[in-house]
Amino acid sequence: MKGMIGLLATALIGGAIYWMVLTKTQGAGGTSGAPAQAISTVGVENDLLSIAQAERAYQAEHGSYVSLDELNSSGALTLQKTGRAGYTYSVETSTDGFTATAKCEASTAAPCTNFAVDQTMQVHQVQ
């Protein structure tokens, strides 16, 4: 009988701990926004690297850097999206380089970070 009571007490304590951890990690809507934001950010960084690789390949073949639209229309970039999950992409070019930027639409409920990459292929946060 004492073993059964001990097992029941252990189960209750474990359930209480599980419930506290679960409610602490969930947002107001019942789901946590942090993992989705992390996945979105990784996708944005990967998209920027794809854009940067296409710019470098285009520059090696044609001798110049071009806009995002021209990368897509020339076939140098297979990424047909102009953004992802609240981010919009743009490319600024010069004769000796480029900067691909992912700008987010920040809200008070979900702040976000802008990212950029240039011909060095290093993604970094920007204001």
* Domain ranges across the chain: 1-29, 33-126
User: Is the confidence at residue 27, as pLDDT, over 70?
Assistant: no
pTM of the shown model: 0.67
Q: What is the pLDDT of residue 3?
A: 78
For range 67-82, the mean pLDDT: 84
* Cα–Cα distance measured from residue 72 to residue 51, given in angstroms and rounded to the nearest whole number: 10
Give the residue among 87, 114, 117 at the shortest CA–CA distance from 99: 117
User: Is the confidence at residue 40, as pLDDT, over 90?
Assistant: no
Residue 52 CB partners (closer than 8 Å, separation 6+)? 98, 100, 117, 118, 119, 121
Q: What is the pLDDT of residue 30?
A: 46
For range 49-59, the mean pLDDT: 93
Summary mean pLDDT of the chain: 81
User: Is the confidence at residue 38, as pLDDT, over 80?
Assistant: no
User: Is the confidence at residue 29, as pLDDT, over 50?
Assistant: no
